[in-house]
């Protein structure tokens, strides 16, 4: 394994984005995993283009060719109540075995935690996709404990016919940009009032998603009842995946309409839209603690592909701070 150099980054720019994008491309090519989550990538791009370029990251580069072989990113919450960190590590060559990646992940996470402590410390959430025993030992050694588990479920499309007409009587239409945002925010934030991330969206949040290249209002399905928005199923197409697949990105029903079976109907409507778009694989993410949702999706033929875990630690401020 080649020798490496590391440095701590406190501001983001387009050069950093280009370096991290190159590393993520190599990560996908070698492991099939995307590396950073969509949230971390979005935070990096936002920090690189905004006036406030605040970011805390650790870069690890191959001393031979200077390319990144590892990266850890901490997104700072405005009040530092809870920040998130993710770590990705790769070997020096696209053709190498992945030996050494665990050592690099260990070093990167330790450096990221030290940098967070030096910047003032606080609560820190570590996300690990498909964690291994080595990942669990690494997290535990640094004081992280399991907080939640997020399951990725998949199914073949189209779904088998049910023989029922559970969505025929519902008025489901595509989302209308410029008209539906405020209504949707009200329904979303009521449906996810107890959710740590999804229940706190505002207009800027949804407008940012509308500007993403993957956004397609035709696959953003809205359910109306009693003259108002009652629920929704927002889909997302991963065209670059192998094979291409559709995701139920967010799905929710206003609490006023719970108990009518509309969650199942909207789920099916979303997967039917994906199948009509030519996709043969559907997927979604669900918290393992949401037993009702896990049971619902299992009854529709969905199976677990992999799970990601979130770990929590409280990092003390270092004496130098």
Residue range 129-146: mean pLDDT, rounded:
92
Question: For the chain, how many structural domains are there in total?
Answer: 2
Rounded Cα–Cα distance for residues 283 and 153 (Å)? 5
Q: What pLDDT was estimated at residue 200?
A: 86
Weakest-pLDDT range from 23-37, 77-91, 195-209: 77-91
The residue among 241 and 205 whose pLDDT is bigger is 205
* Kind of pairing between the strands at 54-62 and 228-238: unpaired
Residue range 151-156: mean pLDDT, rounded:
96
Q: How confident is the model at residue 196 (pLDDT cuts 50, 70, 90)?
A: low
Q: What pLDDT was estimated at residue 231?
A: 96
Regarding whether 208 and 125 lie in a shared domain, the answer is: no
Regarding whether 181 and 247 lie in a shared domain, the answer is: yes
Regarding whether 140 and 24 lie in a shared domain, the answer is: yes
Regarding whether 142 and 186 lie in a shared domain, the answer is: no
pLDDT exceeds cutoff 90 at 247:
yes
Regarding whether 133 and 228 lie in a shared domain, the answer is: no
Domain encompassing residue 232: 158-279
Q: Is residue 288 part of a domain?
A: no
Regarding whether 268 and 181 lie in a shared domain, the answer is: yes
Q: Is residue 287 part of a domain?
A: no
Instruction: Give the pLDDT confidence of 83-111 residue by residue, as tens digits.
Output: 999 999 986 444 444 445 678 999 999 99
Regarding whether 199 and 84 lie in a shared domain, the answer is: no
Query: CB of 282 within 8 A of CB of 248?
Result: yes
Regarding whether 170 and 196 lie in a shared domain, the answer is: yes
Paired with 85 in beta bridges are 74, 126
Weakest-pLDDT range from 118-122, 166-170, 304-308: 166-170
Regarding whether 173 and 97 lie in a shared domain, the answer is: no
Query: CB of 27 within 8 A of CB of 34?
Result: yes
The residue among 50 and 165 whose pLDDT is bigger is 50
Phi, psi of 150 (to 5 degrees): -115, 120
Q: What pLDDT was estimated at residue 30?
A: 82
% of the chain with per-residue pLDDT over 90: 67
Q: Is residue 100 part of a domain?
A: yes
Provide DSSP, 69-120.
Answer: EEEEEEEPPTT-SSEEEEEEE--SSTTS-STTHHHHHHHHHHHHHHHHHHTT
Residue range 293-297: mean pLDDT, rounded:
95
Residue range 14-39: mean pLDDT, rounded:
87
CATH value at residue 34: 3.40.630.30
Regarding whether 112 and 52 lie in a shared domain, the answer is: yes
- In the predicted model, what is the mean pLDDT of the chain? 89
Instruction: Give the pLDDT confidence of 29-70 residue by residue, as tens digits.
Output: 887 777 888 888 888 988 888 766 668 999 999 999 999 999
């Amino acid at each position: 394994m080649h020798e490496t150099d590391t440095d701590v980054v406190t501001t983001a720019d387009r050069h950093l984005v280009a370096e991290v994008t190159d590393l993520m491309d190599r990560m996908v090519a070698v492991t099939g995993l995307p590396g950073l989550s969509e949230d971390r990538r979005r935070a990096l791009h936002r920090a690189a283009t905004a006036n406030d370029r605040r970011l805390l990251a650790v870069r690890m580069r191959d001393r031979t060719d200077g390319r990144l072989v590892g990266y850890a990113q901490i997104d700072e919450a405005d009040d530092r109540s809870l920040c998130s960190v993710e770590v990705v590590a790769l070997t020096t060559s696209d053709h190498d075995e992945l030996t050494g990646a665990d050592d690099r992940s260990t070093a990167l996470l330790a450096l990221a935690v030290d940098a967070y402590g030096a910047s003032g410390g606080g609560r820190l959430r570590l996300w690990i996709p498909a964690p291994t025993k080595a990942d669990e030992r690494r997290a535990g050694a640094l004081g992280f404990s399991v907080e939640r588990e997020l399951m990725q479920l998949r199914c073949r499309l189209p779904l088998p016919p049910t023989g029922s007409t559970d969505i025929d009587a519902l008025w489901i239409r595509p989302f209308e940009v410029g008209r539906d945002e405020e209504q949707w925010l009200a329904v979303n934030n009521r449906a996810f009032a107890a959710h740590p991330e999804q229940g706190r969206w505002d207009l800027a949040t949804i407008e940012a998603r509308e500007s993403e290249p993957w956004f397609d209002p035709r696959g953003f399905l809205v359910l109306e009842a009693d003259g108002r928005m009652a629920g929704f199923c927002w889909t997302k197409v991963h065209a670059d995946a192998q094979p291409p697949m559709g995701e139920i990105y967010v799905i929710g029903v206003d609490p006023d309409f719970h108990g009518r079976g509309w969650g199942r109907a909207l789920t099916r409507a979303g997967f039917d839209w994906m199948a009509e778009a030519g996709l043969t694989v559907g997927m979604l993410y669900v918290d393992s603690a949401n037993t009702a949702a896990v049971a619902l999706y299992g009854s529709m033929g969905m199976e677990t592909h992999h799970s990601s875990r979130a770990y929590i630690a409280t990092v003390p401020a270092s004496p130098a701070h």
